[in-house]
Structure 1
Amino acid sequence: MESKLLAFLGARGQASLAASPAQLACVLAAMGIFYLVSKAVYRVYFGPLSHIPGPKLNALTMIPSARHLLAGTIAENTLQLHRTYGHVVKISPNEVSFTSAETAFPDIYGFRTGPRKGRPNMDKDPAWYTKPSNSVPSILQANDADHGRGRRVLANAFSDKAVMAQEPLVQNYADQLISGMKRAAAAADGGVVNTVEWFEWTTFDIIADLTFGEPFGCLQTASTHKYVHLLLESAKSLRYYYVLAVFPWLKYLGNLVIDHDLVAKRREFQGWVASQVQKRIEQGETVRPDFMTLLLANNKGTEASTLSRGEINSNAALMLNAGTETTATLLNGAVWHILRSPIVYRRLQNELRAKFARYEDITLSGVNSAPYLCAVISETLRVFPAAAAGFGRVVPRGGEFISRTFVPKGTVVSVSQYAAYRSEENFTNPEAFAPERWLVLLGDPAYAGDKRAAHQPFNYGPRSCLGRNLAYAEARLILAKVFWTFDMEFEDDSDARTWLERCKVMRFWVKPRLAVRLTVHEGAP
């Protein structure tokens, strides 16, 4: 097309020179419009992703996707797109989402074995997985070789053995939570507490103690520590980095579109983490089975099998980000769904109070063998997954077949967990909160057809979440102690009814106040 235009201009060269500036401007404008229209038509109807359904506007520009990302509605929007267009949908010009999770998880994230043997892993989308502000990748952003090295160093800190050894520390903070909620309920008008705050304080204190050897002190002061607030605020900036990667010119608009104050807070938080790591390393190895003790013990040998100080700093920040707000989201999501389901509430409380005669009997091994509690947690992770927006990967050279759909190289692909878990193709009655679907022996036969392999809340394959054992341990222990100790109800049913609608996805879930009235169970100490 460009050669024909040049030939045309050459043939009419004298006429163009003789034309007035206004006429020349009209010609150039027409050519520009023709070029843009041609490009749009090609992208929608003839481009490499033209065979994948989706809104035509989404095929033309990133603007609709970026708008939902900034507004916190990306998960709900993706869900609606899948309900309209099916299990595979184009959500932006170069991004494709899947809900056929039973096959898409292994195709996108799985080990390269069997039919995928010899094919390269799909790299993470660099626009989505922003490097830490110190520019040193954690295992979240690292390439395959560095990820494998980092994972080997960190794995011991998150093993089943390590989690069982860490139980006294987790028990201590779970007990602080229960004591604090009792005091707050006694002091508050009508015994009302905001569980969003209390669960955040608990998970942040646990991870800070495991990482740095000391907590934030949130539970002791019943307040949000400065750096917890800074972390929560700075994490919101990640979606701005993604938008800036797509529209770099937005940086010149100041705070009109991008909140640069949040970007600065992210840098400040990373600097604080580095100082905390330095202080903890100066203490050396200890007998405490915390993250840093196990990391330092395992971080010995050649350069090819150790982490640099910058990598330790980046991974420490990752632990605080990934191991706190996600677990707090799970806990709050569980409380909301349980209290919205009277049958689930009574069955869970009956199981816990029958299994544990005394509060002191609630142990990690005990809650691990409480089947209905475990089913409640699995169901919460289905209806309210912490990673609601999915994990973007870039299709390598040669393209890939994902769920039997060919996707060309360079395309960003993901399983949208929030949408996949609410798909009737994967789960029967997907909008219902039904823990019984996870009970293998005593479950409702109505859910026998559920595709359980489609449920991967901690991701799948070689990049799956290292902290899943600890997350399950915290969630089971804390929920068991809370529902054993308290009888609970919403302060305001009408306000609680819209709580889930008011949650927003800012890379993680930003949750409004969840007001719960507590009454101490008569058998509680």
Structure 2
Amino acid sequence: MVIDKNSFKGPTLPDNPLTWVAVILLVVAMKLSHIALRGSLARLPGPWHTKFTSAVYTYHQVRGQAPIYVHSLHAKYVVLGTDLTGPGPIVRTAPHEADVSDPAAVQAIYRIKGEFLKSPWYDSLVLGTPNVFNATDPNLHRRRRRLLSQPLSESGLRGLIPIIDGKIQKAMDRMASEMQDKGAADMYKWWLFMATDIIGALSFGDCFRMLDKGEKNQYVKDLESTGDTFMVRAAFPCLTEWIRKVPVPFVPLASLQAANEVECRTMNYAHESLQWHRRLVEENPETTVPTLFSKFYHDKTITAREMEVDAQAYIIGGSDTLSKTLTYLVWAVCRHPSVKERLVREIQQRLPLASQQRSGFTDAQVRDLPYLAMVIEETLRLYPAVPSALPRVVPPEAPELCGHRLPAGATVTTSAYCLHRDPTAFPDPERFLPERWQNPTKRMKDAFMAFGGGSRVCLGMHLARLEIRLAAARFFHRFPDVEISNLEGMSDDDMEAQWYFVLTPKGKRCLVQQKRA
């Protein structure tokens, strides 16, 4: 049999464009149906759209409301067979991502053995080389943490307390001066200047001197914006990277381009700070005080770029988060007269007044103030500096979480915002009630995650706690009659929380004044 090749045309393709559209839509529908029905987390409770897309979750992230959104999902989607008096312990937020709000499951995810590794999401927070915070490789993280952890331990910080306390007392002087001159002081600004000077002095020598300058420059503005810019980068990682390589004058993409610019400038600040300290050491080798980075300088395996990215992490993590915690602590205390009265009474009765010794008291004495400790814990509970999801990758041999065996490779997140508002751990969770920490239960301790957990717990936790307790004690010791000011239109609206990766008050200010007779 002879086949005429010219007569064989094969399958014919549709010429009608509408037919093509219909075919494409059918393929997309089949793909989405497969994801919805067979997706790795399809059987978990959650809104129907999370079976197909993470768009709604991303929208709330960019608006700074993701923790509130996820918290509402836990309240709505309760797994059958669980304790119905509390929130649902697990909820789907995207086709391959679930959020866990059960303290026992959280302890399993963040235990010291660290089987749940940080997800690739962290790679989007920086350009290129990972730092000690966002490194997803456990070996790389272990190596860098080994060099940085000892100076930040409680014993390592003892010799640095005079430097820290000196900056705190200087901040008190600047606040007092501004109250005298203007009638009110912006404590948010001064806390940020103070925290920046402390981390600068401890890491690179006394290089920033923001308390002396007293004015917000580009450096400070960049620090203030790191929370929302980091979230923008994380929400659109591919697009942000593309814009970094090919900048475009397109208004809807302006925030992405601005995020890249902030990232580049903060990296330059880190580079300049290290160079400044290197020159200081070379010029004064015998009198230069060791810094938090001293071990880095002597380790020949650490590259210059690795030092810079960790310096950047220190600058941001050691200033922005602390200033916001102290701002919300003072604001919350001043809004609750009974709390303020008890705290001030404890400080005045148990801490000596300044006499020959200007400081009047030491950190060791502040450590022994029980009610101040409770106030700090309650502030960290209601206003955690890092309230948002901390994504981890489910390992092949993962334990069962909340009655579900999650597939390897899926992403599981937890949120300090949600955990700290679990009513089974913290009754009346929205109430600022320091007394709840007088005798904390095991569930309270397990649900408390202000500094992360496990092997990736915040490297600067001990430094942060030292600064918070000493600064809070000095503030209410110096200004026992302080109150929130209404000058320049200051109101509670300025303190409305924006829950980006880092907590940010909407107005980026908080004015206080001495109580008027």
TM-score, structure 2 normalization: 0.86
| 2:493 matches 1:515 | no
For 1:255-270, list aligned pairs within 5 A.
Answer: 255-257=251-253, 258-270=255-267
SS of the residue 1:365 aligns to: helix
Q: 1:403 to 1:496 in 2, by over 3 A?
A: farther
Amino acid at match of 1:55: P
Distance 1:498 1:231, change over 3 A: closer
**Superposition deviation, residue 250 in structure 1:** 8.0
Q: Structure 2 matches for 1:398-409, cutoff 5 A?
A: 398-409=397-408
The answer to which of 354-363 and 430-439 deviates more is 354-363
- Alignment of 1:158 onto 2:152: yes
Moved more, 286-295 or 318-327: 286-295
Asked if the contact 1:206/1:215 (under 8 Å) is kept, the reply is no
Sequence identity (%): 23
Say whether 1:506 aligns with 2:500: yes
Moved more, 323-332 or 76-85: 76-85
Q: Which residue of 1 aligns with 2:170?
A: 176
Give the residue type in structure 2 aligned to 1:518.
Answer: Q
Spell out, residue by residue over 1:466-488, the C-alpha distance to the aligned partner (whole angstroms, 9 max, x if none): 11111001000111011111111
Deviations 1:65-100 (A, max 9, x none): 111111111122122122112221111222211111
Kept in 1: contact 2:97–2:410 (CA 8 A): yes
In the alignment, is the contact (CA less than 8 A) between 2:184 and 2:511 conserved in 1?
Answer: yes
Per the TM alignment, residue 58 of structure 1 is displaced from its structure 2 partner at its CA by 2.4
Q: Pick from 223, 230, 241 the counterpart of residue 231 of structure 1.
A: 223
Q: CA deviation at 1:154?
A: 0.7
Once residues 210 and 387 of structure 1 are traced to their aligned partners in structure 2, the CA distance between those partners, rounded to angstroms, is: 22
In structure 2, what is the equivalent of residue 26 of structure 1? 18
Which amino acid in the other structure matches residue 449 of structure 2?
Answer: Q
Question: Does the 8 Å CA contact 2:391/2:411 hold for their aligned counterparts?
Answer: yes
Change (3 A) 1:422 1:339: same
- 8 Å Cα contact 1:96-1:412 kept in structure 2: yes
Counterpart mapping for 1:316-465 below 5 A: 316-359=311-354, 360-440=359-439, 450-465=443-458
Q: Which residue of 1 aligns with 2:124?
A: 130
- The answer to whether the aligner puts 1:88 opposite 2:86 as a matched pair is no
Specify the SS of the correspondent of 1:413. strand
- 8 Å CA contact 1:236, 1:507 repeated in 2: yes
Change (3 A) 1:48 1:492: same
In structure 2, the CA distance between the partners of 1:413 and 1:290, relative to structure 1 (3 Å rule), is same
Q: Which amino acid aligns with 1:256?
A: P
Is structure 2 residue 194 aligned with structure 1 residue 202?
Answer: yes
For this pair of structures, how many residues does the alignment match?
482
Alpha-carbon distance in 2 for matches of 1:268, 1:171? 29
Following superposition, the deviation at residue 62 of structure 1 comes to 1.9
Q: CA deviation at 1:290?
A: 2.8
Partner of residue 283, structure 1? 280
Match of 2:101 in 1: 99
Task: Note the C-alpha offset of 1:217.
Answer: 2.0
Match of 1:482, as an amino acid? Answer: F
CA contact (8 A) 2:50 2:93 kept: yes
Alpha-carbon distance change, 497 to 282 in structure 1, aligned in 2, over 3 angstroms: closer
Q: Distance in 2 between matches of 1:422 and 1:310?
A: 40
More divergent stretch after superposition (447-456 vs 139-148)? 447-456
Query: Using a 3 Å threshold, how does the CA distance of structure 1 residues 58 and 490 change in structure 2: closer, same or farther?
Result: same
User: 1:78 maps to what in 2?
Assistant: 70
Aligned residue number for residue 467 of structure 1: 460
Q: Deviations over 1:432-461 (max 9, x none)?
A: 111111123xxxxxx757522210211111
Which of 480, 486, 493 is matched with 2:473 structurally? 480
Cα offset for 1:335? 1.2
How many angstroms apart in 1 are the aligned matches of 2:442 and 2:132? 36
Q: Which runs of 5+ in 1 are unaligned?
A: 1-12, 113-119, 441-446
Distance 2:416 2:367 in 1: 25
For residue 357 of structure 1, give the secondary structure of its aligned residue in structure 2: coil
Q: Which residue of 2 aligns with 1:63?
A: 55
CA shift, 1:249, in A, is 9.8
SS at match of 1:510: strand
Question: 1:307 deviation in Å?
Answer: 2.5
Q: 1:369 to 1:30 in 2, by over 3 A?
A: same
Question: Secondary structure of the equivalent of 1:165?
Answer: helix
Tell me how far 1:410 sits from its aligned partner. 1.8
5+ residue gaps, structure 2, are: 1-8, 78-87
Distance 2:516 2:166 in 1: 19
